[in-house]
């Protein structure tokens, strides 16, 4: 640790589940619909209505929880979390309190210092609140409320305070987003609010007091309004430094439990946290079981069925790509899986036809850039895996150099032709043995002295002759074949 303190972070993530309808009514959940166009008496909190649980929301919650290695409760219930806010028409949120449907899981992340396991305390289901819209122009306009989001299903995922740096927090969020997208639970668009993150941050400081070495812990600060993964990292870094400065001003004040947990907002423009209020405790919400909703029972068969349907998860893919027959580096495996399952499937196909390392290089060096340029997904990409595999093989067989191969690739992409056609049309004729022998004999003629030096035992002397031939082929001759023919020719010469 380079700093005189250790950062301790726990993340609370809310993701919006990809259901067609809300958690307890049949209203749609389309993003960007006109305000208050997706509401009904149930999500508006009218008296006398009866909520009914959305089965699909529960299934998606189960998927996520199992992918996060959570224990699943066989009995779970719904609770009312009571508070008053203009965007919460019922004055309570239906959530899960003491019996969440899942708990005690983990997510493995690949950090710069190796793999780390981040514990998950719990993942529970709850409904979203609406959105207040205030006039921020300062001209005193009315505040408005849009209740379209009210009742939208959310999964709240609470990590253990296992995260030790801003960088690891970002890695955790990227991994979580990738996982939830891959298993079809959420689109995790932070811009649209379908992934929201609060960070609980404090620091542990080793310092010398009258009693000798002691560890002081600063009080927790919960940071809200984090709108991007980058801002989560920046906020944690800022907050840790701020807490350390505050500690240094008055170390005596920092005894465990003396200072209250606070809530702060992250101001991205100013790059700083701003304290908002002291945090409510759970008791302030007067939780109690929702009498309108039946508890949910989950069977072992249901759990097994969901497990079977999950498919290969990103962390499993990373492990598999690093093992034979692919044997990719940890970095390459991370980069490929980070692009999703479709990319991994495409890679595997190319690798099977050609070889894993070349396949990975072509994807990361060329294909990723092309996809970005063309705003395409890999399944829409015109060069299909067999064609890219063929290009890689042709390149090796004909000894086509990288820059030339790139021209072939660009032609394939622009004109939708296969590798052989593109090579033909570009006039990249392979050098057969006869052509190569001509060049080799000429090069031997022109480098008599080097050849004789080589015959006298100076191994390196032949490099010059080899280089001459390579230059003559303009990158179109196979180096291994040239080397072989050259050695054969030189062997025929008397020393
Ligand atoms: Zn509704
Ligand atoms: Mn929540």
- Report CA(156)–ligand 2 centroid distance (Å): 6
- Report CA(181)–ligand 1 centroid distance (Å): 26
Task: Report which bound ligand comes closest to the CA of 100.
Answer: 2
Task: Report which bound ligand comes closest to the CA of 97.
Answer: 2
Task: Report which bound ligand comes closest to the CA of 125.
Answer: 2
- How far from chain centre, in Å, is Cα 429? 43
CA trace torsion 409, 412, 418, 421 (10° rounding): -90
- Tens of pLDDT, residue by residue over 272-297, are 999 887 766 767 899 999 999 999 99
- Report CA(132)–ligand 1 centroid distance (Å): 18
- Report CA(458)–ligand 1 centroid distance (Å): 85
Residue 127 confidence (pLDDT): 98
**Architecture (CATH level 2) of domain 433-491:** Orthogonal Bundle (1.10)
Task: Report which bound ligand comes closest to the CA of 155.
Answer: 2
> For the residues 319-325, what does the mean pLDDT come to?
96
pLDDT over 70 for what percent of the chain? 97
- Tens of pLDDT, residue by residue over 214-234, are 888 899 999 998 989 999 999
- Report CA(296)–ligand 2 centroid distance (Å): 19
- Nearest 5°: phi and psi at 379? -75, -10
- Report CA(239)–ligand 2 centroid distance (Å): 22
Ordered by start, the domain boundaries in the chain are 5-297, 312-426, 433-491
Q: Rounded to whole angstroms, how far apart are CA atoms 29 and 19?
A: 7
- Report CA(23)–ligand 1 centroid distance (Å): 9
Residue 153 vs residues 42, 53, 168: alpha-carbon distances, Å: 14, 10, 28
Task: Report which bound ligand comes closest to the CA of 158.
Answer: 2
- Nearest 5°: phi and psi at 232? -60, -45
Which residues, including other chains, have CB under 8 Å from residue 116's CB and lie 6 or more apart? 108, 109, 162, 168
Residue 198 confidence (pLDDT): 97
- Report CA(110)–ligand 1 centroid distance (Å): 41
- Report CA(29)–ligand 1 centroid distance (Å): 9
What are the tokens at 379?
A: 């399944």
């Amino acid at each position: 640790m380079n700093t005189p303190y250790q950062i301790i972070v726990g993340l609370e993530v809310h993701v919006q589940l990809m259901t067609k309808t809300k958690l307890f009514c049949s209203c749609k959940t389309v993003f960007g619909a006109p305000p208050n166009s997706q509401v009904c008496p149930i999500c508006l909190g009218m008296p006398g209505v009866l909520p009914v649980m959305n089965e699909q929301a529960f299934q998606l919650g189960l998927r996520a929880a199992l992918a996060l290695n959570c224990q699943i409760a066989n009995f779970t219930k719904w609770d009312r979390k009571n508070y008053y806010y203009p965007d919460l028409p019922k004055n309570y949120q239906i959530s899960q309190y003491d019996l969440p449907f899942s708990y005690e899981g983990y997510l493995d992340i690949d950090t710069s210092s190796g793999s780390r396991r981040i514990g998950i305390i719990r993942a529970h289901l709850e409904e979203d609140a609406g959105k207040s819209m205030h006039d921020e122009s300062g001209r005193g306009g009315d505040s408005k409320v849009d209740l379209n989001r009210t009742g939208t299903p959310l999964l709240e995922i609470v990590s253990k305070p296992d995260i030790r740096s801003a960088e690891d927090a970002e890695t955790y969020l990227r991994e979580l987003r990738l996982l939830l997208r891959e298993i079809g639970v959420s689109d995790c668009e932070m811009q649209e609010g379908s992934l929201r993150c609060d960070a609980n941050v404090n620091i542990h400081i080793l310092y010398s007091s009258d009693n000798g070495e002691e560890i002081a812990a600063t009080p927790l600060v919960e940071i809200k309004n984090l709108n991007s993964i980058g801002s989560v990292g920046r906020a944690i870094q800022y907050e840790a430094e701020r807490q350390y400065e505050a500690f240094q001003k008055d170390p005596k004040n920092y005894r465990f439990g003396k200072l209250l947990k606070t809530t702060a907002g992250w101001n991205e423009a100013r790059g700083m946290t701003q304290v908002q209020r002291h945090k409510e405790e759970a008791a302030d919400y007067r939780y109690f079981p929702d009498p309108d909703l039946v508890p949910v029972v989950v069977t072992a068969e249901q759990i097994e069925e969901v497990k079977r349907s999950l498919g290969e998860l990103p962390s499993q893919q990373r492990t598999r790509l690093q093992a034979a027959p692919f044997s990719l580096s940890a970095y390459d495996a991370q980069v490929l899986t980070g692009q999703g399952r479709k990319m991994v499937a495409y890679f595997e196909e190319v690798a099977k036809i050609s070889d894993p390392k070349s396949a990975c290089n072509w994807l990361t060096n060329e294909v990723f850039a092309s996809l970005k340029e063309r705003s395409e997904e890999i399944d829409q990409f015109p060069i299909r895996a067999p064609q890219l595999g063929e290009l890689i093989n042709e390149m090796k067989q004909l000894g086509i150099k990288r820059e030339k191969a790139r021209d072939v690739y660009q032609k394939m992409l622009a004109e939708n032709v296969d590798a052989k056609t593109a090579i033909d049309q570009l006039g990249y004729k392979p050098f057969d043995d006869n052509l190569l022998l001509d060049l080799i004999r000429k090069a031997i003629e022109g480098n008599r002295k080097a050849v004789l030096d080589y015959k006298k035992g100076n191994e390196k002397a032949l490099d010059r002759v080899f280089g001459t031939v390579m230059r003559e082929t303009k990158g179109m001759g196979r180096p291994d074949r040239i080397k072989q023919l050259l050695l054969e020719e030189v062997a025929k010469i008397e020393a």
